[in-house]
Chains A and B, each alone.
Chain A
Amino acid sequence: MKKNTEIRIDAASKIAGIEKYTRDLHIDNLLYAATVRSDRAHARILSVAFDDDFDWSRITVLSAKDIKNNFVAIIKNDMPYLAKNEVNYYGEPILLLAAENDKILHKAKKHITINYDDLQAFCTLNKAMQSSYANEPFEEIILKNGDVKKAFIKADHIIEDTFETGFQEHVYLEPQVVVAIPDGKTIHIKGSMQCPYYVQNAMNELFMGSETRVDVTQIMTGGAFGGKEDFPSLICGHVALLAEKTGQPVIMSYNREEDIRYTTKRHPSKINAKAAVSKEGNIQAVDMNILLDSGAYTTLSPVVLARAVLTSFGCYKLPNVYIHGKAIKTNIPPCGAFRGFGGPQSLFAMEMLVEKISQTLNMPVWEIKKANLLSLGDKLPTGQPIDYSYGLPQCIEKVLKSSEYEKKYNEFKKYNEKEAKRSGILKGIGISLAPHGCGFTGVGENRIKAIATMEVLPNGQVVIKTANTEMGQGVDTAYKIIVSEALHLPFNDIIIEEKNTSKVPNSGPTVASRSTMIVGKLLFDNCEQILSALSLNNIEFSLQDFKEATKKYFNDHKTLSVQKEYEHPNFITFDEDTYKGYGYPVYAWSANVAEVEIDLTSYQVSVKQFYSAHDVGRAINRQQSEGQIQGGIIQGIGYAIYEDIHLENGQVLNRGFRDYIIPTIEDVPELHVEIVEDAYFNGPFGAKALGELPLVGAAPAVASAVSFAIGKTATKIPMTPEVIASMIEKKNYEY
């Protein structure tokens, strides 16, 4: 494979500001929509009153009573489009309004009074665990391997702690926005989204039994990170219902405050982890209890929990494990998909458990990691053997070398002993190892049965038809590279079909780091079908050969369209009851080294250098791969030290970018990114997954460096100055 430095296809139009995002579309007769929300965390709705002295003639109002199938189809279908009798979180939609401009909507909202009867609300994991919610988890998973009890009895050391991770907000730069355009027969939904078929399926359920038909088109999406995976199904239902009622196009466009306060976020977690360790530092057993705070409705929590469980063992050989995960309901806005999808939470706990082992045994953390590292041929606690595409050792070698880890480890130790008091700065260096399962968890891909289609045009151009969406990650460019390489065609002879559910097959959602590996492989296989139809069997054919063969084919046939449905390699099986087997068809791996400084006056952590190596199987587009890795690392650093959502009685207090701080250009460290390519036999040109992994390993590397600097294991992220102060001064600050 040669062409892996193509310039991304949408760069120029984005730079020039001519790329059209959803709010840039010109739509005639457009109505604007607004949401009237609960201002209680948990309550019965007693009445909704509209002031008589307000002119309601220009406002369309929609309530739960107008919706026959009032549930957002996701996993358990427990979340309504609009609350009917009861609200379960502060901000839950109760009414929808539509009018010709935002100003009228704003006024109208002030003339609606909702009366409630408050119910007891459980707005934190701790409170929920004391309530009946504890006994009715959205999902519960137990993964057992070996004899944990015995290992703990025989252990030289038992090392235990409780690790907490916070909410994280996606902060895609383009807030949520969708529009519904009715044409008499069909409602055309367009919007900023990751998964047009998720929306299509939700709309099919919403309008089940009615005459209304819906199709869905993804418009250029200004970032998503999981935040536009499940959430758009809710607001697409909102605009579709309003469009059906008014007969006019309706747009729902969230401002930043609404977006931060009421859309899904990363699940906060509380994880108790315990290790049985020999005096040499070998981990003989791990017992882990994972609690995810899921918010008011199920959304994707069962799958997020599954990934948390399957990531919890990190990159270590653990002979005995007992991992118990629960996704718990609380009365806060529902949590949803977020890059890493449960992995960042449980990997933080595992990596910090190793940190604590190293501090308890007074051995360097890298020694502990090395002693317990998976080797080729070892098995994960699920029984999955690691016997192909395992580039982690190379990743480790690269980062240890580029970061001069061992040298700095000793230097910083001396510096902290001798200089820190005088300079007021502590220095730390930390290391994390991260796995990320590629594609859907367990047998998910067998259920999705992704389909990708390709069509050859008579002029020899080729059209790619998938439902996978471009949201900044560069998937369209990657697909064009795969196809142009496999068919020996010029880049510009390959056309990407609009991501419209009436034009492209359901190739599954654009999530779970699956687009390149799973769907890219379908495209690769489609190319082989095309070559075989064109009788181009020799490897060395030219563009001219391809065009002539196409011409000849079209003399005898009307169309040349090929299709491929995904099939798991037959040895890849998974038992969902015992969690045994292949949690993922393959893992991608990373090793990360972070250098931090902690200011002893302000207790602010800053990351100075970050070294990272990722085994991605094969980088289809090297430059964009590096970009994904760099962006993911910075998002992970934000997760580790800056990004903090404040809740009071279930109400998100953050209002925007003033009080939800993400890394700016002045906060970022020097990034040193290397790519390792240990090919995966079932990926296109050997490619594995890349989208999520960079974020998973970043926070533990920073937390490891902080633990080094302070001499105490980090147990909580984000490590805000208050958290650092409490670590250093051993006092409990309120945060």
Chain B
Amino acid sequence: MNIKCNINGKSVSFEAEPLDRLLDILRDTLGLTGTKEGCGEGECGACTVFMNNKLVNSCLVPAMHLQDADIVTIDGLRDFDFFTSITQSYEENGAVQCGFCTPGFIMSTIELLRKSNGKVLTDDEVKSVFAGNICRCTGYDKIIKAVRQLLHTNIEIPKRFYE
């Protein structure tokens, strides 16, 4: 089937089988390799992307659901100004080790910032956003610290993430 959708702000069209995974389309068809595959069953969150402004595991999204969808991946975020703040906070707090889970955590971080919208969240509220992201290296502590620091910074998340 032919699919047209919007990926990282660009309109794209491609051929796919109905059950092809969004993850493979991103990585193999479109060469957007920032999104990683850790488990292939929606448990680890390494392949997290935004689809129509909601976090999804791209390994669980079949191509047939992509018609006219709006997808944002880690590869589409680097150029936004707010991404610098996220990078700094993760760097300064030592929240990255092997880095394979990190793009997925960054996507969830954006969801968290969107959710908090200036409010300070409790640790439990923070943790619930990351419940679908597995990290085997850090013990999560430094990721929580990085996110806490971000929650105390005024970060403008672009409007396209709210619509």
Contacts and interface: CB of A to CB of B under 8 A. Distances in A.
Contacts of B29: none
Interface stretch (A166-174, A443-451, A645-653): A166-174
B101 interface: yes
Interface string B120-133: 00000001101101
A17 B34 contact: yes
Contacts of A656: 39-41, 43
A15 B143 contact: no
B39 A657 contact: yes
Interface stretch (A71-79, A86-94, A371-379, A624-632): A624-632
A697 B86 CA distance: 34
Contact of B40 (A15, A256, A628): A256
Interface string A480-496: 00000000000000000
B96 to A, nearest CB: 4
Contacts of B78: 16-18
A268 to B, nearest CB: 20
Contacts of B94: 7-8, 623-624, 626-627
A58 to B, nearest CB: 19
Interface stretch (A229-237, A244-252, A426-434, A658-666): A658-666
A20 B39 contact: no
B154 interface: no
Which of A17, A171, A224, A256 gathers the greatest number of chain B CB atoms within 10 Å? A17
Nearest to A14: B99
B3 interface: no
A18 B83 CA distance: 14
Nearest to B32: A17
A628 B44 CA distance: 20
Contacts of A657: 38-39, 41, 43-44, 134
DSSP majority for the B interface? loop
Nearest to B89: A15
Contacts of A11: 87, 90-91, 96, 99
A173 B46 contact: yes
A664 B37 CA distance: 17
Interface in A441-482: 471-474
A151 interface: no
Given A15-B90, A16-B87, A666-B128, A223 B137 contact: yes
B92 A7 contact: yes
Contacts of B87: 11-12, 15-16
B137 A627 contact: yes
Contacts of B143: 665
Given A12-B91, A24-B33, A665-B133, A172 B142 contact: no
Contacts of B44: 173, 657
A630 B139 contact: yes
Contacts, number: 173
A604 B135 CA distance: 22
A657 B141 CA distance: 21
A174 B91 contact: no
Contact of A173 (B83, B131, B136): B136
Nearest to B33: A24
B36 A666 contact: no
Interface in A247-281: 255-257
A257 B41 CA distance: 10
Contact of B38 (A256, A473, A623, A664): A256
Given A14-B102, A15-B96, A223-B98, A668 B91 contact: no
Interface string B99-114: 1111100100000000
A277 B126 CA distance: 49
Contacts of A256: 38-41
Interface in B11-67: 27, 31, 33-41, 43-44, 46
Contact of A172 (B86, B106, B136, B144): B136
Contacts of B34: 16-18
Contacts of B74: 16-17
Interface residues of B toward A: which range?
35 or more
B99 A222 contact: yes
B75 interface: yes
A666 B133 CA distance: 10
B140 interface: yes
Contacts of B99: 10-11, 13-15, 19, 220, 222, 472
A634 interface: yes
Nearest to A25: B33
B138 interface: yes
Contact of A668 (B27, B86, B137, B139): B139
Given A256-B40, A473-B97, A627-B137, A664 B131 contact: yes
A38 B20 CA distance: 29
Which of B39, B103, B127, B139 gathers the greatest number of chain A CB atoms within 10 Å? B139
Contact of A634 (B31, B100, B139): B139
A345 interface: no
A221 interface: yes
Which of B33, B98, B106 gathers the greatest number of chain A CB atoms within 10 Å? B98
B41 A658 contact: yes
Interface in A113-139: none
Which of B43, B73, B96 gathers the greatest number of chain A CB atoms within 10 Å? B96
Contacts of A10: 96, 99
A665 B31 CA distance: 31
Interface in A629-684: 629-635, 656-658, 662, 664-666, 668, 671
A657 B40 CA distance: 9
A14 B97 CA distance: 9
B98 A174 contact: yes
A251 to B, nearest CB: 12
A17 B128 CA distance: 23
B79 to A, nearest CB: 10
A222 B100 contact: yes
Given A634-B139, A665-B143, A17 B97 contact: no
A471 B87 CA distance: 20
Contacts of A662: 134, 136
Nearest to A657: B43
A171 B135 CA distance: 9
Contacts of B77: 16
A21 interface: yes
Contacts of A222: 36, 98-100
B98 A471 contact: yes
A665 B128 CA distance: 8
Contacts of A8: 91, 94, 96
A198 interface: no
A173 B35 CA distance: 13
B136 A671 contact: no
A17 B90 CA distance: 13
Given A7-B92, A16-B34, A173-B36, A223 B41 contact: no
Contacts of A18: 34, 78
Contacts of A731: none
A471 B143 CA distance: 18
B140 to A, nearest CB: 5
Interface string A1-45: 000000110111111111111011010000000000000000000
A223 B36 CA distance: 13
A-B CB proximity, top 5 nearest:
A17-B34, A472-B98, A14-B99, A222-B100, A630-B139
Given A657-B38, A658-B41, 10 more contacts: A7-B94, A14-B99, A16-B34, A17-B102, A173-B136, A257-B40, A473-B97, A627-B97, A657-B44, A665-B127
29 contacts: A7-B91, A15-B86, A15-B96, A15-B103, A17-B73, A20-B33, A23-B27, A171-B136, A172-B100, A173-B100, A223-B100, A256-B38, A472-B99, A472-B137, A628-B97, A630-B138, A630-B139, A630-B141, A630-B142, A631-B139, A633-B139, A635-B139, A656-B39, A657-B39, A657-B41, A658-B41, A662-B136, A665-B127, A671-B141
Interface of A: 7-8, 10-21, 23-24, 26, 170-175, 220-225, 255-257, 471-474, 623-624, 626-635, 656-658, 662, 664-666, 668, 671
